[in-house]
Amino acid sequence: MSGLAMSPLWEGFSRLPYRQRMGRIAELTGFDQASIEALSGHPVTADVGLAESCVENAIGYFAVPLGVAAYMLIDGCDVVVPMAVEETSIIAAASSAAKFFYPHGGVTTRTEGGLSIGQIQIPGPKDSRRVVEAIETNQGYLLASANELVSSLTARGGGARRIEGRILPGMVVVHVYVDTCDAMGANLINQLCEGLKPVVEDVTGEEAGVCILSNLTDTRMSYATARARQVDRRLADGIVNAYEFAAQDPYRAATHNKGILNAVDAILLATGNDWRAMEAGAHAYAALTGHYRPLSRWRLEGDDLIGEIRLPTAVGTVGGVTTIHPTARACLKMLGVQTASELGRICAAVGLVQNFAALRALSTSGIVKGHMNLHARNLAILAGANQEEQPVLVEKLREELQHEKRLTLTRAKALLSEIRNSEVREEVAIGTK
């Protein structure tokens, strides 16, 4: 196949100076100057009042680098994906893998369900089955009561959709399924459950206990699929083998899923979302069958390599930090998303692409070499190289990787010393001419 042509605005993007990269981003996204300034972090870090409104005992900010993943083709559209992350190689790996899938049509996504879950516990009921029957019989009344508690949400088209009882050993748990529209909805659901508690007690004749949302939102799922046609068989077999390893072994699956969440967490942090809730839900979903499994799946169909992922995605594009933080707002604008569903699908797509990058590295050159290649920049800084020396030292470190498996700070310092001694000798030679 001839493949799809990529935007020329990505050409040489990673090698451009900062200002030129920002110019390209403005062309790709239609950013205005205010949005570009928000990405720099300067207006935010200067505003201690914003920190005061987000956390207690605020004393400042801890800045995390913000980059963009390139070549992301999602549902036929070029998407500029902001990623806030401190780990070397994550953004580069995601971009490289996205470039691999681009000529094959990129990634396609879909959403299934849109309901979050609130829980009201009834510990030690006298008759569990009678409690469940009471919940079912009075569902209309309970739903009406629930929606009165979140009238602003129902006015926006959301609200409680159904209520059911689940029997567990020694307790009944009432599940309240809520459409939170485009909000993540944690606070809304917690308020709803606590407000509904006396109504449930009245209906069941039992005393309720814990009332809180669940971060396992398997009723709010995002799916992504990527297909690469006529893939080199050795590479494809390596990818599938690496997946099978994760499918059989929870020790490997934990690291497999961590790689997926490298990308997802970075997007959620950039957009002001609760990445910890996403992590908890993803890992719980991975273990839902009783055996911890990979969140993605890779298989061969003839000469085609197909990857699929399913993620619970309780994310939001309104409310909380997503609304009040100028950098989060700028990142959402960069993504071009309006709804929580769109954001969830992008998370799934980039998570799948990131997973491919990790499996490709594991099944070919190994994970260390690629990471070390990018880590060379960090080593150059740690070794004490100045701005003029850094590119020279990075190049020498990368040359070392051609015959060494890893780089060390000790070696970086030694190479820097050689560079400086060489410069001194050159200056002396020039002076004696």
pLDDT tens digits, one per residue of 290-348: 999 999 999 999 999 999 999 999 999 998 888 888 899 999 999 999 999 999 999 99
Annotated active-site residue 371? The verdict is yes
E strand map for 275-424 = 296-301, 304-312
SS3 164: strand
Contacts of 41 (CB under 8 A, 6+ apart): 61, 63, 66, 327
Q: Confidence class of residue 87 from pLDDT cuts 50, 70 and 90?
A: confident
Which residue has 């490997």 as its token pair?
252
Average pLDDT over residues 198-218: 97
pLDDT of 371: 57
Tokens of 143: 């739903």
233-235-241 Cα angle (round to 5)? 100
Which among 167, 170, 175 is positioned nearest to 200, based on CA atoms?
175
Annotated active-site residue 258? The verdict is yes
Distance of CA 157 to the CA centre of its chain: 27
What are the CA-CA distances from residue 114 to residues 33, 225, 254, 312, 330 (Å)? Answer: 35, 20, 27, 10, 25
Of 42-56, 164-178, 311-325, 404-418, the range with the highest mean pLDDT is 164-178
| Gap between the Cα atoms of 91 and 97, Å rounded | 10
Reply yes or no on whether the pLDDT at 366 is more than 70. no
| Gap between the Cα atoms of 100 and 395, Å rounded | 25
Reply yes or no on whether the pLDDT at 432 is more than 70. no
| Gap between the Cα atoms of 338 and 321, Å rounded | 16
Domain ranges of the chain: 8-110+228-364, 115-214, 369-431
Reply yes or no on whether the pLDDT at 45 is more than 50. yes
Residue 224, judged by CB atoms within 10 A of its CB (0-12, 13-18, 19+), counts as: buried
pLDDT of 137: 97
Residues 258, 333, 369, 396: which is the catalytic one? 258
pLDDT of 275: 96
Q: What is the pLDDT of residues 11-43, one digit of tens each?
A: 888 888 888 888 888 888 888 888 888 887 766
Reply yes or no on whether the pLDDT at 92 is more than 50. yes
Q: Indicate the fold that domain 115-214 takes in CATH.
A: Alpha-Beta Plaits (3.30.70)
Residues 99, 371, 396, 413: which is the catalytic one? 371
Average pLDDT over residues 81-104: 94
| Gap between the Cα atoms of 313 and 340, Å rounded | 9
Containing H/E element for 328? helix 326-335
Reply yes or no on whether the pLDDT at 375 is more than 80. no
Residue 113, judged by CB atoms within 10 A of its CB (0-12, 13-18, 19+), counts as: middle
Reply yes or no on whether the pLDDT at 431 is more than 80. no
CB 271 within 8 A of CB 343: yes
What does the DSSP 8-state code read for residue 10? G
Annotated active-site residue 175? The verdict is no
7 or 403: which leads in pLDDT: 7
Q: What is the pLDDT of residues 272-292, one digit of tens each?
A: 999 999 999 999 999 999 999
pLDDT of 46: 67
pLDDT of 37: 80
Give the number of residues written for the chain. Answer: 433
Q: What is the pLDDT of residues 115-173, one digit of tens each?
A: 999 999 999 999 999 999 999 999 999 999 999 999 999 999 999 999 999 999 999 99
Annotated active-site residue 42? The verdict is no
Distance of CA 312 to the CA centre of its chain: 12
| Gap between the Cα atoms of 84 and 91, Å rounded | 9
Contacts of 419 (CB under 8 A, 6+ apart): 389, 392, 393, 396
pLDDT of 27: 87
pLDDT of 1: 42
Residues 274, 283, 325, 342: which is the catalytic one? 274
Residues 87, 136, 303, 423: which is the catalytic one? 87
What are the CA-CA distances from residue 51 to residues 56, 61, 65, 200, 358 (Å)? Answer: 8, 7, 18, 38, 35
- Domain spanning 8-110+228-364 has what CATH number? 3.90.770.10
Reply yes or no on whether the pLDDT at 2 is more than 90. no
The answer as to CATH 1.10.8 being correct for domain 369-431 is yes
